[in-house]
Amino acid sequence: MSDTPLDINAVSPAVKADIISESLPYIRKFHGKTVVIKYGGNAMVEERLQRSFARDVVLLKLIGLNPVVIHGGGPQIDSALKRLGKEGNFIQGMRVTDADTMEVVEWVLGGQVQQDIVMMINEAGGKAVGLTGKDGGLIQARKKLMPNKEQPESPLDIGFVGDISSIDPSVVKALQDDQFIPVISPIGYDPEEGDVYNINADVVAGKMAEVLQAEKLLMMTNTPGVLDKSGQLLRKLSAKTIDELFADGTISGGMLPKISSALEAARNGVNSVHVVDGRVAHCLLLEILTDKGVGTMITS
């Protein structure tokens, strides 16, 4: 795959018109529908891809779709922790989060990263609003315990990492109705204990897509999609195939929560789930508005 961006000026007007015309049936089909986008990876740190993402999101809103952005921020959290002399530690793809780390996570995700994304979308002509799970009672959470293979009766406590208890989408729907683009940080809270939890952004995106009855869930990654053991792209995956890929270790590490959430969303009413290559400029438009997608589609 070439990283050289397309010179749009080299494309003839006739070809440009064909490209625009090809998008018409998709615009008609998805008008008024919600699209949940998990934003992360290279697309969050490379300026060219940041601009591409922001323009895609604004364009989708202007042609009548309702994009909802859930963002990650792993590299930014690692960088902030390193400045404080702390190292990131992961178990089964989940960040171990003590009280000090949670303070950094909340500051980085709900502050720095979120506001950068909001500003970027607004500069591209959109109207973005940042939320965390604490806003409007959006995401209620409980402590997550990880399975312990060596001692199944003693699950692993990884600190202030949460599972979603419930999502109240009222604030998201209100923003959508007023033509805003919600940008959500994956932070939840426990109203009974008063604790704040870091939640895997893929998990939040999947559950948010279910609750909003989204037409599509798009998860941006740093790979062409889901790859087999020889590195070949798997363009379409069923639940049965995914279970086999889990079992033989093809899907592991950070891909585990991503694909698990994608499959769960597909099983619970999201019409299509796509793992797309965030290193490709305008990957959202390519996936949603053209005949040829740029990743793996997951079906129930």
How does pLDDT run across 198-211, given as a tens digit for each residue? 999 999 999 999 99
Q: How confident is the model at residue 4, as a pLDDT?
A: 46
Average pLDDT over residues 73-93: 84
Residues 142-153: pLDDT tens digits? 998 888 888 888
The answer to whether 72 touches 221, Cβ cutoff 8 Å, is no
Spatial neighbors of 236 by CB under 8 A, at least 6 apart, are: 296, 297, 298, 299
**What's the token pair of residue 79?**
């960088």
Give all strands of the β-sheet with 181-184 in edge-to-edge order: 128-131, 181-184, 66-71, 34-39, 216-221, 272-277, 295-298, 236-237
What is the pLDDT of the chain when averaged over all its residues? 87
pLDDT band at 3 (very low <50, low <70, confident <90, very high): very low
pLDDT reading at 255 higher than 90 = no
- Percentage of residues in the chain with pLDDT exceeding 70? 95
Distance CA 58, CA 136 (A): 24
CB atoms within 10 A of CB 253: 11
> What sign for the dihedral angle of Cα 285, 291, 292, 296?
positive
Q: Which residues partner with 98 through β-bridges?
A: none
Does 198 show up as a binding residue in the annotation?
A: yes
Q: How confident is the model at residue 141, as a pLDDT?
A: 96
Specify the amino acid at residue 204.
V
The alpha carbon of residue 142 and the mean position of all alpha carbons in its chain are separated, in whole angstroms, by 21
- Give the domain 31-298 fold: Carbamate kinase (3.40.1160)
Rounded to the nearest 10 degrees, the angle between the axes of helix 255-267 and helix 239-247 is 160
Distance CA 168, CA 212 (A): 10
Does 133 show up as a binding residue in the annotation?
A: no
Residue among 57, 53, 37, 35 nearest 45 (CA): 53
Does 74 show up as a binding residue in the annotation?
A: yes
pLDDT reading at 2 higher than 50 = no
Q: What are phi and psi of 196, to 5 degrees?
A: -110, 140
Does 72 show up as a binding residue in the annotation?
A: no
Q: How confident is the model at residue 248, as a pLDDT?
A: 80
Distance CA 220, CA 274 (A): 8
